[in-house]
């Protein structure tokens, strides 16, 4: 029985390794594809990159990118090819344009508003805190109350 298992393991090993082969055909091209695909968004599963997605469209787009790499097109040309068809949405880092200004500047605007509000509130609060004057008698009363409290517990 052990021998049978061992044989099965030996036979299944290479078959398993064979599945990933198309990726290794041209390591340099695959490295470029990977580098590009992590910057590109899959349009079907919108929060996945083109590299991660198993959607059929993502597979097709990887095939297209692979072919463009084989044709020796530059990264810029490949990205332009996709943007001209699917728009800036395919880019995980959209370019700074009139329509995307809010996207780029928005967080800093919110941060500035928040910081200003914090500074104003802190300053106002500093004005409100008035030094409390404690008279001699009040002081004695406090001491007495605290002593009593100590006894009770």
Partner 1 sequence: MNRFLLPLSIFVVVVGFLAVGLKLNPREIPSPLVGKAAPDFSQPQLYDREKVFSPADLKGKVWLLNFWASWCSGCKTEHPVLMELAKSGEVPIYGMDYKDLPEEAMAWLRQWGNPYSVIGMDDAGRVGINFGVYGVPETYVIDKQGVIRYKQIGPLNPDTVSQKIIPLVKQLESQ
- Answer positive or negative: Cα dihedral of 7, 8, 11, 17: negative
Q: What DSSP character marks residue 40?
A: B
The C-alpha atoms of residue 40 and residue 87 are separated, in whole angstroms, by 11
The one segment of 24-32, 71-79, 80-88, 142-150 that binds partner 1 by CB under 8 A:
80-88
Residue of 29, 25, 23, 27 whose CA lies nearest to 73 = 29
Q: Please pick, from the candidates 5, 19, 20, 84, the single residue that binds partner 1 as defined by CB under 8 A.
A: 84
- Closest CB to partner 1 among residues 63, 139: 63
Q: Does 89 bind partner 1 (CB under 8 A)?
A: yes
Q: Does 97 bind partner 1 (CB under 8 A)?
A: no
The C-alpha atoms of residue 21 and residue 53 are separated, in whole angstroms, by 18
Q: Does 92 bind partner 1 (CB under 8 A)?
A: no
- Answer positive or negative: Cα dihedral of 66, 68, 71, 74: negative
The C-alpha atoms of residue 13 and residue 41 are separated, in whole angstroms, by 34
Give min distance, CB of 64 to partner 1, in A: 6
Q: Does 46 bind partner 1 (CB under 8 A)?
A: yes
Q: Does 93 bind partner 1 (CB under 8 A)?
A: no
Q: Does 72 bind partner 1 (CB under 8 A)?
A: no
List Cβ<8 Å contacts ≥24 apart for 21-26. 26/70
Q: Does 85 bind partner 1 (CB under 8 A)?
A: yes
Q: Does 52 bind partner 1 (CB under 8 A)?
A: no
Which spans of this chain sit near partner 1 (rule: CB under 8 A)?
43-44, 46, 56-57, 60-61, 64, 83-87, 89
């Amino acid at each position: 029985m052990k021998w049978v298992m061992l044989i099965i393991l030996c036979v299944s090993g290479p078959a398993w390794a064979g599945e990933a082969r198309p990726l290794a055909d041209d390591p340099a091209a695959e490295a470029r594809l990977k580098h590009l695909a992590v910057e590109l968004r899959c349009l079907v599963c919108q929060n996945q990159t083109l590299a991660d997605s198993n959607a059929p469209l993502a597979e097709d787009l990887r095939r297209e990118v692979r072919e463009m790499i084989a044709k020796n097109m530059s990264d810029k040309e490949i990205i332009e090819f996709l943007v001209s068809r699917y728009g800036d949405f395919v880019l995980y880092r959209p370019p700074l344009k009139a329509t995307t200004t809010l996207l780029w500047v928005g967080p800093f605007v919110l941060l500035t508003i928040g910081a200003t509000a914090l500074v104003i509130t802190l300053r106002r609060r500093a004005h409100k805190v008035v030094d409390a004057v404690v008279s001699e008698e009040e002081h004695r009363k406090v001491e007495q109350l605290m002593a009593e409290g100590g006894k009770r517990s």
